[in-house]
Structure 1
């Protein structure tokens, strides 16, 4: 998860039990990610990892430019829920990439066992830098094209996610239409 129920204590407990505990850094900046890593390290010597949301702002900006009313329609759909919860939606929301470059630099400088990527495919230089630091690189893929691009970038392994995953599905472009392929088909 990108935070919430995932805590350093839970990650350490999973790692101590032989699993691969993962810090969900999707909504964390580099400083908060470093802090989470330090808290997990204080609780265990077992290997653990960090998941990074790799959002392509150019893709998001292009999608919004192609359909300028999309954000307004989304806000309109959310308004009843926001009102019920007593939340005011921002008139002009700010978007943030949480300084992905700083987070990646922190992960190279203070490596963990595994870094996984979701919602995007890292460039080969990023993959090589993480691997040179001793980190295994995992890329979540949801299409055959994603898988080919992740392998070409040098990923150590793929996390294949199909329509069977339920909930949201990792996509690498905003406009991507889910293909409905099963995990085996991918």
Structure 2
């Protein structure tokens, strides 16, 4: 059964068209209308091996926040839809990823219980403007939105970092690598990986 999803979400603030394939090769086609976010979502697809296509427009003349948030919501919803009943997946995974001076660790549980803990970003990071449109505070907001709408438990910790671009990018890449292994089919798992029998 194909683990794919396509979702279109339109509000007065944005329109998001997103499709993904969990069993892809990391092929991406990303146009979020926010250049730095294009870079981040491309990295997320590439390093998770999720084929990801996004076309989004929104009121970025006001702020990037609405469009960035809505894309994260739709990505989370699509991830949840494509996972189905989660039969046969590894479920738990973690990844520690470096980028020059920056280092981050992501731990994921595809649990069906949404929770997100983000720690370690240096003081003032949330106020940094990255790429002219993207504030550091949006990184945590994206992670929280993905976790809540995908129904996953995500712990993301920045271990070190100085450059705001590197810090943001390493967080996305750590999530990508953890997702890659958590959603991967495990040939030793028979059924749903939970003692409850459901996730």
Report the TM-score range of the alignment, normalised by the length of the smaller protein: under 0.3
Higher strand share: 2
Higher relative contact order (CA 8 A, sep 6+): 2
Q: Please give the TM-score of this superposition, normalised by the length of structure 1.
A: 0.27
Larger Rg: 1
Q: Please give the TM-score of this superposition, normalised by the length of structure 2.
A: 0.26
